[in-house]
Amino acid sequence: MRDMAPDLGQEKIQALDAEAQRIMKLNDRGGYTVPTAGLYPYQWNWDSAFAAFGFARFDPGRAWTELETLMAGQWANGMVPHIQFHRADPGYFPGPEVWGTEGCAGKGPGRVASSGITQPPVAASFAWRVCQRDPVAGEARLKALFPRFLAMHRWFIDTRCESGAVAITHPWESGRDNAPDWDDAMAGFEPDGVGPYTRRDTSHVDARMRPTKADYDRYLWLVQFARKRGWDEAAVAAESPFRVADPTMTFTLMRACRDLRKAARVLGEPEGEITGWIERLEAGAETLWNPETGAHDARDLRTGQHAGSVSNASFLGWWGGLEDRRALPALTRILDAAKYALPSFDPQSPKHDRLRYWRGPVWGVMNMLASTGMAEAGLTAEAARIRADTIALIARHGFAEYFDPQEGTPAGGGAFTWTAAIWLGWASPSAGKE
Ligand code: DGY
């Protein structure tokens, strides 16, 4: 049985809005926000873009600053790294000394210390939304960032677009670190010689809610592998055992290109190149379609095999702008199987693990993307169900990193920036009512 969203009442809505703002300010480190203190003490790429979406509700100027800081960390080759290490923090591993990106050719001189991989490109989509809130003040700031977004998207198309779908070189790039989507590709190599290391994540959060040691060994092995090649995209593409086409990357880039094209129109910039990218990504999305699961699915580019994974990313096609409804029966099955939507992995699969990070729990940010896309595609009831469940989870359990899809139990880090941000920008009954 599914749950119904509680009828909150004005006072409770106002209290939740105030708490969400408080969390965003608490995690503000001056120009950028951390996802949460302790567990994630730096600036993460897509977390930061969601943060801008939340700030736009009460401080559009601060929203732009968030995006500007994020894009200032862009590498010379166009890539925007997944972590920017603005200030040293021993509470996180792996820090800048493990990544060793200093001096590598793609980065270029004078950039902030960073990781060597990227994350789902939602920044242009949220810049467009921030601009919608105050187009008069926003346009100049959007215009200044436009070339950076263009360069970022071009980098994805040139280096990562294989058969049109977007490849990841490390599970952390997908943002869905330990999703079952990567299990087969991760089992395809041994993390030999990775050496001893001390995890920090499990000192902040219950180990049952985090990736396993077998995963972590491979995460680090892949970092060392790319580092040895000077973070050279071509060498990693040619030699790494891990290269998987990812629905999250493909659909967020598709949407970000559509949003960038809207921006180009308003700013009087050329659209033709962006339109070409969208067409290429649409063709690529078809290579992710798995007829056996009836959903979009990750595909191992080394073996050509689908992962057989029905995840929350499987339902981002509508956010990407696809119109077809082939995934609707699979979505209906997943919605029926979870008390709280949208579980990050199929509750009917033996691999489902309701507390372990991206193998089961519900994530507010994915709910925002999926539900918004569904609403736009006319899947009104499905979109409303996902939003109502997000409201119920946050109202009852607070601004957690993620939630158990059956009990609603909050899990992972607390006082989480992006959960607060999607509350303010989307889930809150007050959103869009100003
Ligand atoms: C982590 O440290 O768990 C992050 O997800 C890596 O980006």
CA–centroid distance, 205 to ligand 1, in Å, is 13
Give the position, in ligand 1's atom list, of the atom nearest the Cα of 219: 6
pLDDT confidence band for 410 (50 / 70 / 90): very high
pLDDT at 1: 41
**83 close to 136: Cβ distance less than 8 angstroms:** no
CA–centroid distance, 172 to ligand 1, in Å, is 6
pLDDT confidence band for 418 (50 / 70 / 90): very high
pLDDT at 7: 86
Tell the residue nearest (CA) to atom 6 of ligand 1.
172
CA–centroid distance, 373 to ligand 1, in Å, is 26
CA–centroid distance, 406 to ligand 1, in Å, is 25
Letter for the amino acid at 181?
Answer: D
CA–centroid distance, 157 to ligand 1, in Å, is 24
Paired tokens of 367: 């709910």
**411 close to 209: Cβ distance less than 8 angstroms:** yes
Q: What three-state secondary structure class fits 246?
A: coil
Q: Rounded to whole angstroms, how far apart are CA atoms 200 and 210?
A: 11
Give the position, in ligand 1's atom list, of the atom nearest the Cα of 93: 2
**425 close to 410: Cβ distance less than 8 angstroms:** no
Q: What is the pLDDT of residues 80-114, one digit of tens each?
A: 999 999 999 999 999 999 999 999 999 999 999 99
CA–centroid distance, 47 to ligand 1, in Å, is 11
Q: What is the pLDDT of residues 242-294, one digit of tens each?
A: 999 999 999 999 999 999 999 999 999 999 999 999 999 999 999 999 999 99
Helix or strand (DSSP H, E) at 166: strand 165-168
Give the position, in ligand 1's atom list, of the atom nearest the Cα of 83: 7
Average confidence score pLDDT of the chain:
97
Whether residue 4 is predicted with pLDDT greater than 90 in this model: the reply is no
pLDDT at 432: 81
Length of the chain in terms of residues written: 434
pLDDT at 5: 66
% residues pLDDT > 90 (the chain): 97
Instruction: Return the minimum-mean-pLDDT range out of 130-139, 167-176, 270-279, 354-363.
Output: 130-139
Q: What three-state secondary structure class fits 294?
A: coil
Q: Name every protein residue with a CB atom under 6 angstroms from any ligand 1 atom.
A: 82, 172, 177, 201
Tell the residue nearest (CA) to atom 4 of ligand 1.
172
Tell the residue nearest (CA) to atom 7 of ligand 1.
172
pLDDT at 66: 98
pLDDT at 392: 97
What average pLDDT does range 11-30 have in this prediction? 98
Paired tokens of 350: 């033996």
The answer to whether the predicted template modeling score (pTM) of the entire model surpasses 0.85 is yes
Residue 83 DSSP symbol? E
Helix or strand (DSSP H, E) at 410: strand 410-411
Helix or strand (DSSP H, E) at 161: strand 161-162
pLDDT at 6: 73
Mutation test residue for ligand 1: of 36, 40, 359, the one with most atoms within 8 Å of CB:
40
Give the position, in ligand 1's atom list, of the atom nearest the Cα of 94: 2
Mutation test residue for ligand 1: of 170, 177, 178, the one with most atoms within 8 Å of CB:
177
**220 close to 197: Cβ distance less than 8 angstroms:** yes
Whether residue 2 is predicted with pLDDT greater than 60 in this model: the reply is no
Give the position, in ligand 1's atom list, of the atom nearest the Cα of 115: 7
pLDDT at 44: 98
CA–centroid distance, 198 to ligand 1, in Å, is 14
Q: Concatenated DSSP letters for 362-408?
A: B-HHHHHHHHHHHHHTT-HHHHHHHHHHHHHHHHHH-S-SEE-TTT-
Residues annotated as part of the active site: 177, 401
Give the position, in ligand 1's atom list, of the atom nearest the Cα of 119: 7
